Structure 1
Amino acid sequence: MKILEARNINKKYVESKGIFGVNKEKNILMDFNFEINRGEIVGIVGNSGCGKSTFAKCLVNIESPDSGVIVIDGEVVYEKIKDSKKENINKYSNLYVKKKIQIIMQDQYSALNPKIKVGKSVLDALLIHETDMSIDDAMSKVIEYFELCGLKESDIEKYPHQFSGGQLQRVSIARALVLEPKIVVCDEITSALDVSVQASILNLMLDLKDKLNLTYIFISHDKDVLDCICDRKIFM
């Protein structure tokens, strides 16, 4: 059963002004289509600049497609049709939609505020979405997910610079999963790590998928990484 479908996704950027002062546009995504079934791991592979990360950002509304339709769990959460008078749809401002799909980014260091303890960063993210949860209950859940991700309870009191790259990626994974999403977009999450750490992170993600009944979209330029973890791959 499909849990996510993206249809005819288009995205372009203005690169620069041309010789006569006219903006030059570069098409990054052109009528791109994608679907994934519940519980599946699908890889999206391609060279740098092909639009992989742009598509990932469109799925979680960091970027908005210029046109296209995104359906999550049977609900249209984004719709913008070219040359149509139909009213656009964007439901990503609803917290229940944001909770359904989360993203883990490549750069762990920029994803966390260096001046804030990592436990508080994860706690704050949880409390934004769980407004009725007490701080004590929320912190208990943060600790639970830290431990699920191979971290210690004492790690919540540390700052980002006190972790290795692999440990910090585990913090980012905990922050995404503490919201109990159904779909997790993994955007080059192992590309900045050495080979042994890559393997431990991939094994962790497989373990968490089974424990938490997750669906993964893995984005990478490394086909070998995707061969290790994905049910199928899409080439861009």
Structure 2
Amino acid sequence: MQHKQKPKHSQSNPSNKWLKIVIIVLALGLIFLLIRSYFSAQVQPQTTKRSEISVSQKIEPASNATNSTRSSETNSSSSFSSEHSAVNNYAVDLKQLLRQNQAVVFEAPTIDAPNWIEIQTRENSLKDIFLSVAFVHNPKVATWEVTIRSIPPKQIRVFSSNSSDSQVRTVKVATEVTLGKQINQFSDNTPENTYASKMGGDKFYLFYNNHGSVSLVTPNYAGNVATKEDLSIMSEYQQTH
């Protein structure tokens, strides 16, 4: 009589089961570390770049504010930014400009308008400031009391004094010079005297130019412009001594 052989059931070894679990956990941990390292390497350059930009933005305004020969020149592609909005970034240092009671002279190669302008103080006092003008064909001068104050920075267009073709450029100014009472006139019955009598109350501006000195801008007294829109363009006088 034959007996049917019962199928044998395989018995799993508990130690092998736990070994598989440990291997799976280690594999998952290794994959996680690799993924984390990959994304860390991708993000790190952006973080460094933002940090560098932040530092440069903090340093640049301070450097501009302390440089006495900084330029107020600009071009058509530039614009006002919040970090340059302080008046001191563009205002001219009057104490340095008028040190030791020395007069400051500005000149421009013009015939139909004053070619020589001088700003000076009395007894080294910034409260008593005077401005004098002269024409190339008249040795005498006309003088006014003036007030000089800092204003919020603004852009103006000027005819460049060192350009033969009267090139127009844009500058930023924050120092305003206002002509007050006239205390000295040209000789009577001269075109210059009639001319100067209309200058009272006019506003001039001072700014640092690209040459490391100071420029003075005035209304375009010569009036030699092509269109009425150009009448607002001012004339530049550069500091000579």
TM-score range, shorter chain: under 0.3
Higher RCO structure (Cα 8 Å, ≥6 apart): 1
Relative to the length of structure 1, the TM-score reads: 0.25
The structure where helix makes up a greater share of residues is: 1
Relative to the length of structure 2, the TM-score reads: 0.24
